[in-house]
């Protein structure tokens, strides 16, 4: 999982969903798990 300051470019990718977990914003992509990341 990558840690990024901004998830704007990742949430536009196909198959990605934005989830809030424990106060953090997480992008999970089922089509390409390489793009899994959290903000912070």
| Cα–Cα distance measured from residue 5 to residue 25, given in angstroms and rounded to the nearest whole number | 10
**pLDDT score, position 13:** 95
Q: Which residues contact 31 (CB under 8 A, 6 or more apart)?
A: 14, 15, 16
| Digit-coded pLDDT (tens) for 1-40 | 999 999 999 999 999 999 999 999 999 999 999 999 999 8
**pLDDT score, position 11:** 93
**pLDDT score, position 40:** 86
Give the domain range for residue 30. 2-39
**pLDDT score, position 19:** 97
**pLDDT score, position 23:** 94
**pLDDT score, position 5:** 95
Q: How many domains does the chain have?
A: 1
| Cα–Cα distance measured from residue 24 to residue 31, given in angstroms and rounded to the nearest whole number | 22
Tokens of 24: 């953090």
């Amino acid at each position: 999982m990558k840690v990024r300051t901004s998830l704007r470019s990742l949430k536009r990718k196909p198959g990605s969903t934005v989830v809030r977990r424990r106060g953090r914003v997480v992008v999970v992509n089922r089509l390409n798990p390489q793009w899994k990341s959290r903000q912070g």
